[in-house]
Amino acid sequence: MFVYKTQIRLHDTDAAGIIFFANQFKLIHDAYEQLMEKSGWSFQRIFKAGLFFLPVVHAESDFKAPLFTGDKIAVTIKVGHIGNTSFVLEYMLKRSKKLIGTAKTVHVAINPKTRKKIPLPSYLIRILEKYQNER
């Protein structure tokens, strides 16, 4: 599993501790970017190479507990299913050991020119399998 640590900012939540739903997706996407960078495949590198894109085709999240400005959280990522053209990422957001949110995203590999599905590159599968096996 991959762990990304961050802090809740004023713009992430309201005074009641209710995180704006889109900001939970922002937090998990920041974690996803860090996972890719740590693995040697930053999105800058992926976009410059122009071999494939990985759009999110499905996303879901659940709010479990309040978050307040200044809270330090950890976002863990586990890789779920890895298919021929797609993969699933499962996220847990925790403050200390308390679960404060969950999310899931489904990503599909596409050809940047045709926008058609393509098989996941083998090196990407190897990266994903590393985080799948650490369950």
Active-site residue set: 14
The residue type at 12: D
Interatomic CA distance for residues 21 and 37, integer angstroms:
25
Rounded Cα distance, 5 and 30, in Å? 10
